[in-house]
C-alpha cells in the first residue's frame, strides 16, 4: 500500500518560488531514501502568475513573441528541467505537482504519466467532458482523433530522479487562453487549447475541481490523503 499523500495548497505563486520548493522536497526525499526510509508523498496545488516554461529539450522558436513584448505583457519565462516543450501557466489554471516516491507505487514512468492523465480524464468527465489521450502526445485532449477539432485541456511534463517525481500537470479551468496565442503549445502545430470554462460556457469553482482531483488521485493511485 503506498504511503499517504500530503496535500499542500499554496495558492497563487510565482513560478520560480514553487520550482525551488519542488527541488527542495525532491532532494529531501532522495536523502530519506538513501537512509533506507520511506519519504512522504506530496501533492502541491498552485496557480502561477503568467509564465511560459520550456522543457529541457524544447525549442525556443516555439515562443512567438520577442523578449521585449513578453516583458511588456508581464509574462515570465523559464527554461526548465522537465520533459515536454513550451507551455503557459496562469491564473485560473490549476497546476498540480506530485512529489511522489514511485517505489511506493510502480517504477514505470509510462504508467505514471498514464495515471496522471487518468486522474484528469475522470475529473473532467464529472463535467460531461470526454477527455482522451492522443497517440504519441502526453496530456489530456478533447476529440484528438478529429482533424481540426483536437484541443488540449491539460498539459503534462515531469522529471524523475531516484524514482522521485516532480513537475506534473496543468489543467485549464478558467484560464485566459489568449496567452497561448504567443506560443506553439507543447510544440504541437495546428492544434487548439481549451479550458473547462470554454467548453461549458461558464466558469467553474476551482475549489470544486480540486476536491474532484483529490478523490480521483485516491482512486487511480490506490491511496489516500493524510
CA distance 171 to 155: 7
User: Binding-site residues, please?
Assistant: 82-89, 155-157, 168-170
Three-class SS state of 130: coil
186 is catalytic: yes
Binding residue ranges for substrate: 82-89, 155-157, 168-170
Angstrom CA distances, 191 to 48, 76, 162, 183, stand at: 23, 24, 35, 12
The one catalytic residue in 186, 196, 209, 213 is 186
The answer to whether 46 and 15 are in contact (CB under 8 A) is no
Q: What is the DSSP string of 143-212?
A: STTSTTT-EEEEEEEEEEETTEEEEEEEEESS--GGGGGGB-GGG-TT-EE--HHHHHTS---HHHHHHH
Q: All 3 cell numbers of residue 181?
A: 496565442
Catalytic residues: 186
Amino acid at each position: 500500500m503506498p504511503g499517504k499523500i500530503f496535500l499542500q495548497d499554496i495558492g497563487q505563486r510565482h513560478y520560480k518560488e514553487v520550482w525551488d520548493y519542488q527541488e527542495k522536497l525532491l532532494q529531501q526525499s532522495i536523502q530519506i531514501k538513501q537512509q533506507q526510509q520511506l519519504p512522504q508523498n506530496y501533492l502541491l496545488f498552485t496557480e502561477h502568475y503568467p509564465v511560459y516554461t520550456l522543457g529541457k529539450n524544447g525549442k525556443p522558436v516555439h515562443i512567438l513573441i520577442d523578449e521585449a513584448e513578453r516583458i511588456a505583457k508581464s509574462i515570465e519565462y523559464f527554461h526548465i528541467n522537465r520533459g515536454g516543450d513550451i507551455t503557459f501557466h496562469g491564473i485560473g489554471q490549476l497546476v498540480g505537482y506530485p512529489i511522489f516516491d514511485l517505489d511506493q507505487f510502480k517504477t514505470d514512468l509510462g504508467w505514471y504519466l498514464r495515471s496522471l492523465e487518468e486522474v484528469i480524464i475522470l475529473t473532467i468527465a464529472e463535467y460531461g467532458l470526454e477527455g482522451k489521450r492522443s497517440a504519441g502526445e502526453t496530456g489530456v485532449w478533447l476529440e484528438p482523433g478529429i482533424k481540426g477539432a483536437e484541443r488540449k485541456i491539460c498539459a503534462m511534463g515531469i522529471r524523475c530522479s531516484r524514482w522521485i517525481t516532480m513537475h506534473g500537470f496543468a489543467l485549464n479551468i478558467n484560464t485566459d487562453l489568449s496567452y497561448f496565442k504567443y506560443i506553439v503549445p507543447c510544440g504541437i502545430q495546428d492544434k487548439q487549447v481549451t479550458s473547462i470554462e470554454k467548453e461549458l460556457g461558464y466558469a467553474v469553482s476551482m475549489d470544486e475541481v480540486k476536491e474532484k482531483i483529490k478523490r480521483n488521485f485516491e482512486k487511480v493511485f490506490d491511496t489516500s490523503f493524510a
